[in-house]
Amino acid sequence: MNAITLRVKNAPGFRVDASNLLPNTLAQMSSKELAEITLQGHGETCALGDLFDIAHADAADASLNIEGDVAWLDRIGASLGEGKLTVHGNAGDYAGIGMKGGELRIQGNAGRFAACEMQGGRIDVQGNVGDFAAGALPGNMEGMTGGVLAVHGNVGARLADRMRRGTVIVGGNTGDFAASRIVAGTVCIAGETGAHLAYGMRRGTVVLLTKPSNVPSTFTEGGRGFDVFWLLLTRMLANEIEPFARLEQRALPKRFAGDLAVDGRGELLIANS
């Protein structure tokens, strides 16, 4: 297998679709073939070799490293099924959209729709992420259905909208409508949340380390017998990003059930309250 490294040489003056830059596919190609890959831009195309310096190295597994600020490069890791893809800088919109497996690491920020409709694998973002992360595309009924999205910084509005399965972990703050209309899955938020938290929530779990300014009126406090679930959850989070790695296992959080406006059976678990 080959480890491919792409170093930014010339940034275009338009956005570029990176959905065909997948580790397993590129690992089987020669340097000449790689340089001739055509990327679709906004109204025009460009060759991979015009944008990046390309380097090969032997590796046990297929991997792709993108070095430099590529905030103009959208759909990085789209539909990724296996292999490892690392961005040493900022990424564009739709990073990891429809991802099925493998690992995507972004050492800077990511744009809108990161992990949108993700099905499996893991996405780790060291910086911030824009709106609609782990959500559904406009008009679609299902957001994230599997995998893990871990964001060390802040996330924009509509985080995990219509989520069905999987785990989202945010080390910073979130915008409005976080965990809106989720059907199942787990959303963990360390920082502050915006307005309309868990709006239309039907099932699933939202874990908050910071008490919200107000709990939605359509959630009711109460519930017992979730101590085993909490123990298992905190053990899982112990291997995740700070500050969840230090979450106290024995101190049970305050629990709220809802959204009762939609006969919801979801739960808000507020730790340290």
In tens digits, the chain (273 residues) has pLDDT values of: 678 999 999 999 899 999 999 999 998 888 899 999 999 998 899 999 999 999 988 776 889 999 999 999 999 999 999 999 999 999 999 999 999 999 999 999 999 999 999 999 999 999 999 999 999 999 999 999 999 999 999 999 999 999 999 999 999 999 999 999 999 999 999 999 999 999 999 999 999 999 998 899 999 998 777 888 888 898 889 889 888 887 776 678 999 999 999 988 999 999 875
DSSP structural state of residue 273 = -
Q: Which of 81, 178, 171 is nearest to 126 (CA)?
A: 171
CA gap 61, 84 in Å, rounded: 8
pLDDT score, position 187: 98
Do 181 and 162 touch, CB atoms closer than 8 A? yes
Cα distances from 84 to residues 3, 28, 81, 123, in angstroms, run: 9, 15, 10, 10
CA gap 260, 235 in Å, rounded: 30
Residue carrying the six token digits 């297998």: 1
Residue 119 tokens read as 């099905």
Domain ranges of the chain: 1-66, 75-270
C-alpha dihedral, 172 to 151 to 216 to 118, nearest 10°: 170
